[in-house]
Chains A and B, each alone.
Chain A
Amino acid sequence: MSILKINNLSVSYGNKQVIKDLSMNIARNKITAIIGPSGCGKSTLLTSLNLMIEENGGSISGEILFKDKASISYEKADIRRMIGMVFQTPTPFPFSIYKNLTYAPKYYGIKDKKELNRIVEDTLKEVGLYDEIDDLNMLATKLSGGQQQRLCIGRALTVEPEILLLDEPCSALDIRNTENIEKLLLDLSDEYTIVIVTHNLSQAKRISDYTAFILDGELIEYDTTDKVFTNPKDNRTREYIEGIYG
């Protein structure tokens, strides 16, 4: 079942059209990978899904249906709460770990100290940081890069989203941390729908259920990961997977 339906989406920055008439459906509680060469519009597509594109000065035409209702008919804040996002480089707030995780819940009106403590504890367990952290009052910026990224994933989970968008979340991390995050994403996909942009083909192969290949803002191929990687229909997909494009 699809949680997101994208119909004839076009995105442009000023006169420059970055996404061209793209349609695809995102399946619930699955991991969907978006692959393609640098500058093909992967990240733009991702930021269109939670309307963050507007903060960067892009404009959207076409239709994005979230749970069969046009995403623009929701409050922008509601869409962003339900569709969480994790950025390429870890962006912990320069506060304590505890404050990073209570920042959003406090905004949404949770004042009770016990409830906040529960959220922090559950989230840390969920992203596998619980056993790695001794002091919740430690500055989040003092964590290692991989821990910071998991904290950011956790922070996105504190508002109980349904979809999690990740924009090349491992590109700043080493192999071990990448492995940790991939394992985490696999665990999370039981509960959340995950859309991940990656330039790492083996990563897409390892964790995703569906893969979309985008070239110059157009959706070239979209199918189960297995099919895209073993038996691509389009020649351009085959060439990309075999490493012809950069």
Chain B
Amino acid sequence: MNEKTKSFLFKGWILLSTLIVLAIVFYIFGYILSNGIESINMEFLLDGPSGIPVGSQGGIFPAIVGSLLLMLISCVFASILAISTSIYLVFYCESERIKGLIHLITQCMSGVPSIILGLFGYTFLVLYLNLGRSVLAGGLTLGFMIYPFIQVRVEKTLLEVDKSIINSSYALGISRTYTLFKLILPICKSDIVSAITLAGGFAMGAASPIILTAAVTFAPIPSSLSSPVMALPFHLYILTGEGISLEKAYGTALVLILLLLIINIISTIINITRKEHK
């Protein structure tokens, strides 16, 4: 086989792979759109579920709110931990051994299956800490899940800041802490926000960590952090798993996908505006 045919075949192969993936993505989205669009109306978006069994009628408003709340709690919890860890690793930790250990732990955490995290959340948060099946317990469990995701990205962003820029701040006699808050974090701000948003989308779509810790078949909008909630992925699972209403399930799936799409678009926009600034 000569070089020309090889390169032709290679190009054909990568083009084909791209097309197959794109086709699958569009097919999934198109399929859900065509099946789900009919159930989407104001009542579906703004009412609670009703009918017997619950969910066969009515809407998914509490689940939308529940999912957004879970995302918010998990993002706040995970990003505080992840940003602090990354700052420690990049600017304060001097022992290579501790750095290696923390990286190892983070990697292990990202490898834990999410249903196991759910089980951990159930035994530790729900039972041991007595938080009960609640939006707080679910949010924290999701936080454990997305923590490695955020930590790795934030650390990478911090490491990318030009060392000579940091040194010129130190050369002005300025403290490490001031440099961190007034120079380094502002430089990394949009990258960090974009990592958190992406992680939020990841948390919102996950069902297994919340099955045991937060989600219930029916609940009103939570009145406090200790109330159980409805969540879109869990609602979807119940609607199909129990054969309640396939039509509503497609509607729910469409809403979930649209929300995730919006989150991803926001994250992309943040990234683009950052690039333009540079």
Contact = CB atoms under 8 A, between A and B. Distances in A.
B166 to A, nearest CB: 9
B174 A107 contact: yes
Given A81-B173, A159-B172, A93 B183 contact: yes
Contacts of A156: 171-172
B171 A85 contact: yes
Nearest to B167: A55
Interface in A16-64: 50, 52, 55
Contact of A81 (B167, B172, B277): B172
20 contacts: A77-B174, A79-B173, A80-B172, A81-B173, A85-B171, A87-B164, A87-B168, A89-B164, A93-B183, A94-B187, A94-B277, A103-B169, A103-B172, A104-B172, A107-B174, A107-B175, A107-B182, A141-B278, A156-B171, A156-B172
- Give the size category of B's interface with A: 10 to 19
Nearest to B172: A104
A179 B172 CA distance: 25
A141 B276 CA distance: 12
A117 interface: no
B171 A50 contact: yes
A84 interface: yes
A155 interface: yes
**B167, B173, B174, B178 — most chain A CB neighbours (10 Å):** B173
B222 to A, nearest CB: 41
A103 B186 CA distance: 12
Secondary structure call for the B interface = helix
Contacts of A79: 173
Interface string B161-196: 010110111111111001000110011000000000
A84 B167 contact: no
A173 interface: no
Contacts of A80: 170-173
Contacts of B175: 77, 107
Interface string A91-133: 1011100000001101100000000000000000000000000
A139 interface: yes
Interface of A: 50, 52, 55, 76-82, 84-85, 87, 89, 91, 93-95, 103-104, 106-107, 139, 141, 152, 155-156, 159
A229 B245 CA distance: 92
Contacts of A155: 168, 172
A103 B183 contact: yes
Contacts of A81: 172-173
B172 A84 contact: yes
Interface in B2-47: none
B190 to A, nearest CB: 11
Contacts of A76: 173
Contacts of A85: 168, 171
B171 A52 contact: yes
Given A52-B170, A52-B171, A55-B170, A107 B164 contact: no
A139 B173 CA distance: 23
Contacts of B183: 93, 103
Top 9 A-B residue pairs of the complex, sorted by shortest distance between their CB atoms: A81-B173, A80-B173, A85-B171, A77-B173, A91-B168, A104-B172, A91-B164, A91-B165, A107-B174
B11 to A, nearest CB: 38
Contacts of B172: 80-81, 84, 103-104, 107, 155-156, 159
